[in-house]
Chain A
């Protein structure tokens, strides 16, 4: 925590401290909701439809300080955006960092559906790579799957079984394991 910042100086006053917390709900949250809607390319009527609310209410919700947002409303909006809503108590240092780093121009929170698609695609890719490694190692048949990240160069040619150093990659340790597997060296 940078104790010399102007914000910390203000926060030393308990009244301002309490007000600062409330401001993040009353002023910042409406701006977040609007930014989130725009990241989905939704109009206010579209968000209203997803949330089961009237468009004028969405318009008010998105105006800083216009409405007092309650948890039920926020839950409905979270459901409409298909994102989670996190309400918890945190130390000021964490709270300040989040709010100071908040970038409304790039405020895009992925929906669960999109997250799932991405996660499934990633798993499929990993599974495909493991399949390559398994086919080069008959000893691994019947064993439980172990996920390794296999450097592509080691799996392109099944006949290339001579030991070689793995390509440098961010997963070097796993790369070595995969390399050993592709050389018929069971672990």
Chain B
């Protein structure tokens, strides 16, 4: 697969999601485990490998991306992706960390 394909796939997926009013499975799913309650993952496959963005909805039509990872054979890469997502959410909610708007690759 040519270099850049994963990036283009992510751009295309995120742009499609940004336009959709309702997000549903299998494009999005909740993370399992009480510890991760409220966190979700955006899901698509690129280069035959499941890709994920872990995050949560912060307002209507606003989604906060906490970390990107792959999810192959039930293992996240990086392996601590879920814990990192939780830590980052906690930091954002306590005001220790901040976030900024992600600029979609678009023609508009």
Interface set of A (CB-CB < 8 Å, partner B) = 2, 5-8, 10, 13, 15-16, 18-20, 22-24, 26-28, 31, 62-66, 96-97, 100, 102-105
Q: How far is the CB of B77 from chain A (nearest CB, A)?
A: 17
B76 at the interface (CB under 8 A from A): no
Interface segment among B8-16, B82-90, B93-101: the answer is B8-16
Is the beta-carbon distance between B19 and A103 smaller than 8 angstroms?
A: yes
Sorting the interface of chain B by its residue count into under 10, 10 to 19, 20 to 34 or 35 or more gives: 20 to 34
Is the beta-carbon distance between A100 and B107 smaller than 8 angstroms?
A: yes
Is the beta-carbon distance between A104 and B20 smaller than 8 angstroms?
A: yes
Complexed CA–CA distance, A83 and B13 (Å): 24
B33 at the interface (CB under 8 A from A): no
Contact of B21 among A27, A31, A65, A105 (CB under 8 A): A105
Complexed CA–CA distance, A8 and B106 (Å): 8
Interface set of B (CB-CB < 8 Å, partner A) = 2-5, 7-9, 11-13, 16, 19-22, 26-27, 44-46, 51, 103-108
Is the beta-carbon distance between B12 and A27 smaller than 8 angstroms?
A: yes
Is the beta-carbon distance between B8 and A6 smaller than 8 angstroms?
A: no
Interchain Cβ contacts under 8 Å between A and B, 30 examples? A2-B107, A5-B106, A6-B103, A7-B107, A13-B4, A15-B2, A15-B3, A15-B4, A18-B2, A19-B4, A19-B5, A19-B8, A19-B9, A22-B8, A23-B5, A23-B9, A23-B12, A27-B12, A27-B16, A28-B12, A63-B26, A63-B44, A65-B44, A65-B51, A97-B107, A102-B16, A102-B19, A104-B16, A105-B20, A105-B21
Is the beta-carbon distance between A23 and B8 smaller than 8 angstroms?
A: yes
Complexed CA–CA distance, A27 and B2 (Å): 16
Is the beta-carbon distance between B19 and A104 smaller than 8 angstroms?
A: yes
A104 cross-chain contacts in B, Cβ below 8 A: 16, 19-20
Q: How far is the CB of A47 from chain B (nearest CB, A)?
A: 15
Complexed CA–CA distance, A88 and B19 (Å): 26
Q: How far is the CB of B11 from chain A (nearest CB, A)?
A: 7
Complexed CA–CA distance, A63 and B42 (Å): 12
Complexed CA–CA distance, A126 and B19 (Å): 39
Complexed CA–CA distance, A6 and B2 (Å): 21
Q: How far is the CB of B19 from chain A (nearest CB, A)?
A: 6
Q: How far is the CB of A62 from chain B (nearest CB, A)?
A: 8
Q: Which residue of B lies closest to A16 (CB)?
A: B4
Is the beta-carbon distance between B107 and A64 smaller than 8 angstroms?
A: no
Give the top 5 A-B pairs by smallest Cβ distance, nearest first. Answer: A65-B45, A19-B8, A23-B12, A64-B44, A27-B12
Q: How far is the CB of A30 from chain B (nearest CB, A)?
A: 9
Complexed CA–CA distance, A19 and B106 (Å): 15
A15 cross-chain contacts in B, Cβ below 8 A: 2-4
